[in-house]
Structure 1
Amino acid sequence: MYDTILVPTDGSEQADAAIDHAVSLARAHDATVHLLYVADSNRDSVTTLGGEVVDALEGEGERILEEATERLDPAVDVVDAIETGGPVETILDYADLVDADVIVMGTHGRRGIDRYLLGSTTERVVRLSSVPVLTIREE
């Protein structure tokens, strides 16, 4: 049923809960988990360090993906990627690129005015995705 599971991560507890759930799915279906960090190009992230231009968000993404990969079951196939762009569009494009069968995403579980005012990447992915999206609320 699932061969390719996409899990966008930002290093949050909600994303970690989604990763844990995705790994359980991967074990059950012998699937590959794709961990994706999106370096949000809508944010100013370029800094100068020792004369070299370093994208701080990509550096943060490398750290987050490394930490996530270290805590995963080594029996599960994992592919990680850092993509630059707007989070929603990039997640949807990457899901198409890898032919994802499901996207597993964490959610804060906001309701009412908080959800309306703050918006939600997960909610927008759910609304726009042609791929099923499984949302996981961190306990």
Structure 2
Amino acid sequence: MDIDTVLVPVDGSEESVRAIEVAVAVAERYGAQVHALYVLDRDQRERTERMMDAARDLAADVPLTHSVAYGFSTSHLTIHPGSVVLDASEDAGADFLVIPREGPADLLGKAAGYVLQFAKQPVLAV
């Protein structure tokens, strides 16, 4: 398997930290980089910065990039958080996805099912 970029959507939860750990392990195994996508459901700039600092610490020597996306839109209610993750995976050139599975009411929980169903890349749900 040829993997250059592992995308991991995060939201600051403990499940996200675990997903970063797994994404880093996959990246180390394949000599890839990690791209952490912070998925927001409202303005959380301070929490985003703390999560990205934690991601950098967890990545250690594994190259890490990151971006931020809103998981929903009040002007485009048809946008699903899962489609936001898949769009970001294409933008980042991700070959592999590691997604935290949270409760079905959580934003990333909603994204996980969608990503598992529609992703073109291999997906590991943790």
Question: TM-score range with shorter-chain normalisation?
Answer: 0.7 to 0.9
How far apart in 1 are the matches of 2:117 and 2:92?
20
Cross-structure match for 1:29: 30
Cross-structure match for 1:39: 40
How far apart in 1 are the matches of 2:117 and 2:70?
21
Larger strand percent:
1
Question: CA offsets per residue over residues 4-53 of structure 1, 9 Å max, x none?
Answer: 1000011112111111111111111110100010223xxxx4xxxxxxxx
CA RMSD of aligned residues (A): 1.8
Using structure 1 for the length normalisation, give the TM-score: 0.72
Structure of higher CA gyration radius: 1
How is 1:16-95 mapped onto 2 (pairs within 5 angstroms)?
16-40=17-41, 45=42, 56-73=43-60, 75-86=61-72, 87-95=81-89
How far apart in 2 are the matches of 1:32 and 1:93?
18
Question: CA offsets per residue over residues 100-136 of structure 1, 9 Å max, x none?
Answer: 111101113x6xxxx5xx3632111111222221111
CA displacement at 1:66 relative to structure 2: 1.8
What secondary structure sits across from 1:127 in the alignment? helix
For the Cα contact (< 8 Å) 1:4–1:32, is it kept in 2? yes
How far apart in 1 are the matches of 2:58 and 2:96?
21
How far apart in 1 are the matches of 2:97 and 2:7?
5
Gap runs ≥5 in structure 2: 73-80
Gap runs ≥5 in structure 1: 46-55
Cross-structure match for 1:133: 123
